[in-house]
Chains A and B, each alone.
Chain A
């Protein structure tokens, strides 16, 4: 079996970027994830990159969503009722 690229040598920053885990905050317990974490802990640039990625996601999460307009639901039902009536008329012909 071919060794995982992360096991061949100490990580470079580029490799760390390429293997950044899917979940930025996940508990990393695989060997490769532990090594990535160790690299990040000792690397100012990777720490800054990871922090800014986390902050990007955080900013989007903090964006407020406007309140759902209450009229929308009744508008949906109005359309559905019109469609139903049309269907009835067609089936009566």
Chain B
């Protein structure tokens, strides 16, 4: 119900923005700025780049609002714009090289892997997040190819459904699921040394 009311409120604002109402645009920005900021920061992992993405996103929204036809949720359209803005800022990387390491998923039946799968320590998270762990987390996610990072952030950090993530990224739902699984495993592998040392 809330979702429906949100969509209705969005559409009313968007109609006004399309008619040139700048106050309506201001309200629309206010309504979504935390979403845009949070998503941009989680993707870029850099405050300056997130600021640029925030600005580019809302300027693009203002310029392209006539192209929003209301068939999808406004938030879906917005997430697509943020993702495109963030990704355009990075040079496209050759996926193939990185995907090789993705395919090295742990085989829990392998004896060497068994040794590695010791449970991670229960060090208090808050303490860890202010130290080296924070850097390790940032470095690890930056190593993910963009298309994987977007899926991980949307699904696991922004709590978007597989269906909505599919609409935002243009991937099929099975591709979203596969990328999510590979991203999690890749990140886990990247953090493993830190967590077990």
Binding site for B on A (CB under 8 A): 12-14, 16-17, 20, 22, 24, 43, 45-46, 48-49, 51-53, 55-66, 68-69, 72-73, 75-77, 79-80, 83
Contacts and interface: CB of A to CB of B under 8 A. Distances in A.
Contacts of A76: 29, 54-55, 58-59
B109 interface: yes
Contacts of B118: 48
Contact of B59 (A62, A63, A68, A80): A80
A75 B57 CA distance: 12
Interface string B147-189: 0000010011100001000000000000001001100110110
Interface in B97-144: 105-109, 113-114, 117-120, 125-126, 128-129, 133-134, 137, 141
A48 B157 CA distance: 22
B107 A17 contact: yes
B45 to A, nearest CB: 9
Nearest to A71: B51
A60 to B, nearest CB: 6
Nearest to B133: A59
Contacts of A79: 55, 59
Interface string B15-26: 000000010011
Contacts of B152: 60
B162 A22 contact: yes
B108 A46 contact: yes
Contact of A49 (B106, B137, B162): B106
B185 A13 contact: no
A55 B37 contact: no
A64 B129 contact: yes
A22 B42 CA distance: 21
A52 B188 contact: yes
B133 A72 contact: no
B81 to A, nearest CB: 13
9 contacts: A13-B107, A17-B106, A49-B106, A60-B137, A64-B129, A65-B38, A72-B37, A72-B54, A79-B55
A14 B107 contact: yes
A68 B109 CA distance: 46
A83 B41 CA distance: 26
Nearest to B187: A56
Contacts of A43: 108
A13 B54 CA distance: 43
B47 interface: yes
Interface string B24-39: 0110011001100110
Interface string B50-81: 01001100110011000000000000000000
